[in-house]
C-alpha cells in the first residue's frame, strides 16, 4: 500500500488468517446488530457489507488504513482540483461537471455551466422541432459514435432510464466493425437522424471511421449543397478539428483535458442521454452524482459509502485472496453496468507501477465481470458456488423495481436474495450427505452436493433505478476506483497500456493492405495476415 505501516499490514494479514477459519453466518450470531451496523447509506443507495468475512477488529484496521493513507484528504484534493493526474500534470475534475464546486478552479465551473446551457438550448431546439434535419423533418433518432468513455456511460444511462420520457430514440455505435454501424443504420431514415461524433481526442480510429461512414450515409439522402452539419454534433477537446467536418460551432461542445474519458458521462459526452430522455432526466442524473459527492466529502470513513467499497476491495483482494470481482445487478435496466465498470475500474487501476515508476507492492485492480441477474444463474454461478476460484461480489438490488408484473418482480428479488444467502451459507457436508442419500449416493459421491459458502459479497440496495440513484451509483463506483488508486499508489487517470496495440495495428493495417510491412513482425502474425488477405482477395 502507498503509505501503510508494516505493523498495520501485519495486523490485517493476521486478522485475515484468523477470519478464514470462521463462517460468516456465525459472525451474525456473535455480533448483535451486524446486519444493521455493517452498512452505510447515501443518496438512495445502501451498501450492506454484513456478508463479508469481516469482523469489528478487521474493520477497525481497515479504517486505520483509510486514515494512514489520508483518503478524506485525497478526496478533497480531487474535488478541489489539485494536479492529482500526476503523469499528465492535470486535475481530474469530473465532480465539477455535476455541480460540486472546486475551490481552486471557479473558472472551470463557469465553463462547464456555460456548456451545459448551450447543450440545453440545442436539446430543447431539437425536441421542439425548431432545429430540424436538412429536409425540414423533425429528428426522431440520434446515434452516438464513440468508444470507451465516449460510449459506455451514455449507453448505460440511456438503456437504464429509457421509458422516463423518450422524445428521440438513441443508438450507440462503438465498434470499427462496419456491421455495428450498418445494423444500426438499416432501420433509420437519414432525413430524421442526428449523429453525435463523441471523441475526447478526435483521433480515435473507430470513431472517425464510423463518423466518415455515417456522414456518407447522411449525404446519400441530402440534396446537393445541403448543410449536413445540421445532422451532426461534435463533443471533443479538439473543437477546431470538429470544425473541419463542417459542424457548425453551435453544435460543437467542448470537453476539457481535466476530465478523464471514463469519467466524462456528466459532460457533453452525455448529450445523447439528454436528447434521448429529456433535459430534466440528464439533470437529475447529475444531481444524484452531486449528492454522492457531498456524502463522500462530508462523511467520516466508517460511514462513507465509496470509501467502504474501496476498503472492502482491498480487504478481499490483498488479504483474502480474491482476484476477480463480479458485479451482479438484479435489474435488466442495469445490464450495461458491468461493461461500464470494466473500463472504469480496469482502465483506471490495471497498472503495475506508480507514476514515479515504482512497482506496486500488491496486485492491481481485480478483473471485473458480471451480468444482469438472473441470466448468469444459468451459466457461471456454478463456478461462484462450487468453483475453486476466489472472488468478491456486488449484488445490486433496486428496491422499487418499476411497473409491470409484480409476481415476476417478486421472483427477481427472491432470486437476488436467495443467491446472496446461498453464497454465504453454502451447503454443509451433513446436508450434502442427506441430499445424496435421498438420491441413492454414498458418502463420497455425495460430496458433489457440498457448497463451501462463505463467499464474501456486498448487497447494494438502490431505492430504484431512477436518474438520481443511477447518478449516485456511478459516482460511488468512480470514487471507489479513485480511493483504490490512492491505496495502491497508482494514477487512475492515465492509460498508457492501451497505446501499444494501437501502434501495432498501424503496422498490421499496412501488411493487410499491401502484403508488406516495414515493421518486423513475427511469423504467426504474418501467416494470419496472409490468410486474411487471401480470404478477402476479391
Ligand atoms: O484507448 C483508450 C481510450 O483513450 C479511452 O481511455 C477512451 O475513453 C477511449 O479510448 C476513447 O477515446 P476518445 O474519447 O478520445 O475517442
Domain ranges of the chain: 6-68+299-494, 102-282, 497-535
State how far the Cα of 304 lies from the Cα of 310, in Å rounded to an integer.
Answer: 10
Is 347 an annotated catalytic residue?
yes
Q: Indicate if ligand 1 lies below 6 Å from the C-beta of 199.
A: yes
Cell of 134: 436538412
Q: What is the pLDDT of residue 164?
A: 56
State how far the Cα of 400 lies from the Cα of 317, in Å rounded to an integer.
Answer: 32
Rg of the Cα atoms in the chain: 25
Catalytic residue among 137, 212, 246, 502: 502
Q: Indicate if ligand 1 lies below 6 Å from the C-beta of 342.
A: no
Nearest partner of 52 among 302, 306, 309, judged by Cα = 309
Looking at residue 271, what DSSP letter applies? H
Fold type of domain 102-282: Rossmann fold (3.40.50)
Is 378 an annotated catalytic residue?
yes
Is 127 an annotated catalytic residue?
no
Nearest partner of 497 among 342, 349, 317, 341, judged by Cα = 349
Q: Which residue's C-alpha comes closest to atom 16 of ligand 1?
A: 199
Count Cβ atoms below 10 Å from residue 59 Cβ, excluding itself.
20
Helix (H/G/I), strand (E/B), else coil: 346: helix
Q: Indicate if ligand 1 lies below 6 Å from the C-beta of 74.
A: no
C-alpha 495 – ligand 1 centre gap (Å): 9
C-alpha 206 – ligand 1 centre gap (Å): 10
Q: Which residue's C-alpha comes closest to atom 5 of ligand 1?
A: 148
Inter-CA distances, 505 with 78, 100, 203, 350, 511, Å: 35, 40, 14, 22, 10
Inter-CA distances, 404 with 415, 460, 474, 487, Å: 18, 23, 26, 44
C-alpha 256 – ligand 1 centre gap (Å): 13
State how far the Cα of 340 lies from the Cα of 338, in Å rounded to an integer.
Answer: 5
C-alpha 207 – ligand 1 centre gap (Å): 10
Q: Indicate if ligand 1 lies below 6 Å from the C-beta of 260.
A: no
C-alpha 330 – ligand 1 centre gap (Å): 29
Catalytic residue among 69, 206, 313, 347: 347
Q: Indicate if ligand 1 lies below 6 Å from the C-beta of 153.
A: no
Q: Is beta strand 457-464 parallel, antiparallel or unpaired with respect to 45-48? A: antiparallel
Catalytic residue among 378, 403, 407, 516: 378
C-alpha 35 – ligand 1 centre gap (Å): 41
Q: Indicate if ligand 1 lies below 6 Å from the C-beta of 211.
A: no
CB 459 within 8 A of CB 424: no
Same fold, 6-68+299-494 and 102-282: yes
Q: Indicate if ligand 1 lies below 6 Å from the C-beta of 201.
A: yes
Q: Indicate if ligand 1 lies below 6 Å from the C-beta of 200.
A: yes
Q: Indicate if ligand 1 lies below 6 Å from the C-beta of 236.
A: no
Domain 6-68+299-494 CATH assignment equals 3.40.50.10490: yes
Q: What is the pLDDT of residue 224?
A: 63
Q: Is beta strand 193-198 parallel, antiparallel or unpaired with respect to 232-236? A: parallel
Q: What is the pLDDT of residue 87?
A: 87
Count Cβ atoms below 10 Å from residue 234 Cβ, excluding itself.
27
Q: Which of 151, 200, 239 to mutate to test the pocket of ligand 1 (most atoms within 8 A of CB)?
A: 200
C-alpha 199 – ligand 1 centre gap (Å): 7
Phi–psi pair at 170, nearest 5 degrees: -105, 145
Which atom belonging to ligand 1 lies closest to the Cα atom of 201?
A: 15
Low-confidence ranges of the chain (pLDDT < 70): 1-4, 164-165, 223-226
Amino acid at each position: 500500500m502507498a503509505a501503510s505501516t508494516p505493523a498495520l499490514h501485519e495486523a490485517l494479514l493476521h486478522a485475515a488468517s484468523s477470519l478464514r477459519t470462521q463462517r460468516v453466518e456465525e459472525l451474525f450470531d456473535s455480533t448483535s446488530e451486524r446486519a444493521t451496523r455493517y452498512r452505510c447509506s447515501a443518496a438512495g443507495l445502501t451498501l450492506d457489507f454484513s456478508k463479508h468475512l469481516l469482523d469489528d477488529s478487521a474493520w477497525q484496521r481497515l479504517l486505520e488504513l483509510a486514515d494512514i493513507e489520508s483518503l478524506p484528504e485525497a478526496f478533497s484534493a480531487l474535488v478541489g482540483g489539485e494536479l492529482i493526474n500526476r503523469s499528465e500534470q492535470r486535475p481530474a475534475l469530473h465532480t465539477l461537471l455535476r455541480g460540486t464546486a472546486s475551490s481552486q478552479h471557479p473558472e472551470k465551473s463557469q465553463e462547464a455551466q456555460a456548456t451545459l446551457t448551450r447543450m440545453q438550448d440545442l436539446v430543447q431546439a431539437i425536441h421542439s422541432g425548431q432545429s430540424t434535419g436538412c429536409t425540414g423533418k423533425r429528428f426522431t433518432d440520434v446515434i452516438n459514435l464513440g468508444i470507451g468513455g465516449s460510449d459506455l456511460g451514455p449507453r448505460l444511462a440511456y438503456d437504464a432510464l429509457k421509458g422516463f420520457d423518450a422524445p428521440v430514440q438513441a443508438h450507440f455505435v462503438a465498434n470499427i466493425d462496419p456491421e455495428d454501424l450498418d445494423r444500426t443504420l438499416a432501420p433509420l431514415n437519414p432525413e430524421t437522424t442526428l449523429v453525435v461524433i463523441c471523441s475526447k481526442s478526435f483521433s480515435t480510429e473507430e470513431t472517425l471511421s464510423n463518423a466518415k461512414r455515417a456522414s456518407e450515409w447522411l449525404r446519400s439522402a441530402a440534396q446537393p449543397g445541403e448543410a449536413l452539419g445540421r445532422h451532426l454534433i461534435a463533443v471533443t477537446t479538439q473543437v477546431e478539428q470538429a470544425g473541419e467536418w463542417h459542424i457548425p460551432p453551435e453544435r460543437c461542445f467542448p470537453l476539457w483535458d481535466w476530465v478523464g474519458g471514463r469519467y466524462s458521462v456528466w459532460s457533453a459526452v452525455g448529450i445523447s442521454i439528454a436528447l434521448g430522455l429529456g433535459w430534466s432526466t440528464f439533470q437529475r442524473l447529475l444531481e444524484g452524482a452531486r449528492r454522492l459527492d457531498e456524502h463522500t466529502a462530508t462523511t467520516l470513513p466508517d460511514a462513507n459509502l465509496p470509501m467502504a467499497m474501496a476498503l472492502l476491495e482491498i480487504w478481499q483482494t490483498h488479504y483474502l485472496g480474491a482476484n476477480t470481482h463480479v458485479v451482479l445487478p438484479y435489474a435488466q435496466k442495469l445490464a450495461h453496468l458491468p461493461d461500464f465498470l470494466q473500463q472504469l475500474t480496469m482502465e483506471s487501476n490495471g497498472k503495475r507501477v506508480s507514476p514515479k515508476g515504482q512497482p506496486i507492492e500488491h496486485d492491481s485492480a481485480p478483473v471485473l465481470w458480471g451480468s444482469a441477474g438472473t441470466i448468469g444463474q444459468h451459466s457461471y454461478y456454478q463456478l461462484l458456488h462450487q468453483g475453486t476460484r476466489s472472488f468478491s461480489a456486488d449484488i445490486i438490488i433496486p428496491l422499487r423495481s418499476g411497473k409491470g408484473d409484480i409476481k415476476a418482480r417478486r421472483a427477481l428479488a427472491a432470486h437476488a436474495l436467495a443467491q446472496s444467502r446461498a453464497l454465504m451459507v453454502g451447503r454443509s457436508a451433513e446436508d450434502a450427505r442427506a441430499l445424496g442419500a435421498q438420491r441413492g449416493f454414498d458418502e463420497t459421491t455425495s460430496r458433489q452436493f457440498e457448497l463451501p459458502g462463505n463467499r464474501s459479497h456486498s448487497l447494494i440496495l438502490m431505492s430504484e433505478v431512477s436518474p438520481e440513484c443511477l447518478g449516485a451509483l456511478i459516482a460511488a463506483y468512480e470514487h471507489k476506483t479513485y480511493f483504490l488508486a490512492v491505496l495502491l499508489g497508482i494514477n487512475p487517470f492515465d492509460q498508457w497500456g492501451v497505446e501499444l496495440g494501437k501502434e501495432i495495428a498501424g503496422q498490421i493495417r499496412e501488411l493487410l493492405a499491401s502484403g508488406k510491412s516495414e515493421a518486423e513482425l513475427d511469423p504467426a502474425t504474418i501467416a494470419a495476415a496472409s490468410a486474411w488477405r487471401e480470404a478477402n482477395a476479391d
